[in-house]
Amino acid sequence: MGQRPSALLVDDRVLVDAGTVGGALTVPEQIEIQHALISHAHLDHTVGLAYLTDTLAMVAPERHVTVTSIGPVIESLRAHAFNDALWPNFTNIPSGAQPVLGFRSIPEEAEARVGELWVTPVPVEHTVPSAGYIIHDGETGFLYTGDTGPTGRLWQVAREMRGLKALIVETAFPNRLHALARVSGHLTPEMLQREIDKMPPDIPIWIFHIKPQLFQETAEQLATIDPTRIHTLEQGKTYSI
């Protein structure tokens, strides 16, 4: 995950962001995906949806993936991606009655059922509408920020949640690119350190979305914060929480 664009697969059925799908999963694995929970419309979080829908239409047109997010993100994907200009509108393929793609908007800060999971979207600070998610199965759960600069409400909501086992948090840039992180709505290790004070305490933090060209530098700075609590998510690995 540190190197490939962002995507997590939960319980084989629910994709959380879709930066990578085809490159990481076999076709039989892709066909099992029923839901894609999307933080925001940026291509490094959504481009896999283009290939996933194309794959479904080709090899499993009876299957259906529901793309879920907050309203502005769904509107953006409809208007700018699956618009029959940049990519086919797969909500009509193979037919409008039984398409391979569906869109679903869910309200902010309310719990919604997605597959077997409960998800609560909370808007975060980025250059476009973006949501972090608190995701749980009724017993345990985790938090996923998507892309965000310094934020507040997500941490408040997370502090009220029970059973969180992991905080999956972005850190895109090393400290020297603080100004770029600011304008592009991302975090550096120094900025993350300030976020930690607002987070629910003691829960392990897993970092994703480090810019691949700057991975080493950023990872070394992260390691100086709290090596017992902060870890870097590794690409292609399976984690149990």
Report in angstroms how near the CB of residue 17 gets to Zn ion at its nearest. Answer: 8
* CA pair distance 161, 67, nearest whole angstrom: 25
Q: What are phi and psi of 202, to 5 degrees?
A: 70, 0
| Smallest separation, CB 93 to Zn ion (Å) | 27
Output the DSSP codes for 155-196.
HHHHHT-S-EEEEEEE--S-GGGHHHHHHHT---HHHHHHHH
Question: Binding residue for Zn ion (CB under 5 A) from 2, 31, 32, 44?
Answer: 44
Residues 55, 57, 58, CA angle at the centre, nearest 5°?
65
Total residues belonging to the chain:
241
Closest distance to Zn ion from the beta carbon of 142 (Å): 18
Shortest CA distance to 94 belongs to which of 47, 62, 49, 51? Answer: 62
Task: Tell me the site size for Zn ion, rule CB under 5 A.
Answer: 3
Give the nearer residue to Zn ion in terms of CB position, either 73 or 100.
73
What is the nearest approach in angstroms of Zn ion to the Cβ of residue 45? 5
**8, 15, 42, 131: residue in contact with Zn ion (rule CB under 5 A):** 42
Half-sphere exposure at residue 206, Cβ-oriented, CA atoms within 13 angstroms = 19
Rg (CA), the chain: 17
Does 35 help bind Zn ion (rule: CB under 5 A)?
no
Contact region with Zn ion (CB under 5 A), list: 41-49, 71-79, 159-167, 221-229: 41-49
* Residues 211, 172 contacting (CB under 8 angstroms): yes
Residue range at the interface with Zn ion (CB under 5 A); choices 39-47, 64-72, 101-109, 191-199: 39-47
Q: Which is nearer to Zn ion, 99 or 185 (CB)?
A: 185
Question: Where does this chain touch Zn ion (CB under 5 A) — which range of 70-78, 85-93, 116-124, 147-155?
Answer: 147-155
Sign of CA dihedral 88, 10, 225, 214: negative
Please work out, in degrees rounded to the nearest 5, the angle formed at the alpha carbon of residue 9 by the alpha carbons of 8 and 13: 150
Q: Which stretch binds Zn ion (CB under 5 A): 7-15, 44-52, 105-113, 225-233?
A: 44-52
| Contact flag: residue 147 with Zn ion (CB under 5 A) | yes
| 186 interacts with Zn ion by CB under 5 A | no
Beta bridge partners of 205: 167, 230
- Cβ proximity to Zn ion: between 56 and 168 the closer is 168
Q: Which of residues 80-139 bind Zn ion (CB under 5 A)?
A: none
Closest to Zn ion by CB, 47 vs 101, is 47
**Nearest residue (CB) to Zn ion, 43 versus 223:** 43
Give residues in contact with Zn ion (CB under 5 A).
Answer: 42, 44, 147
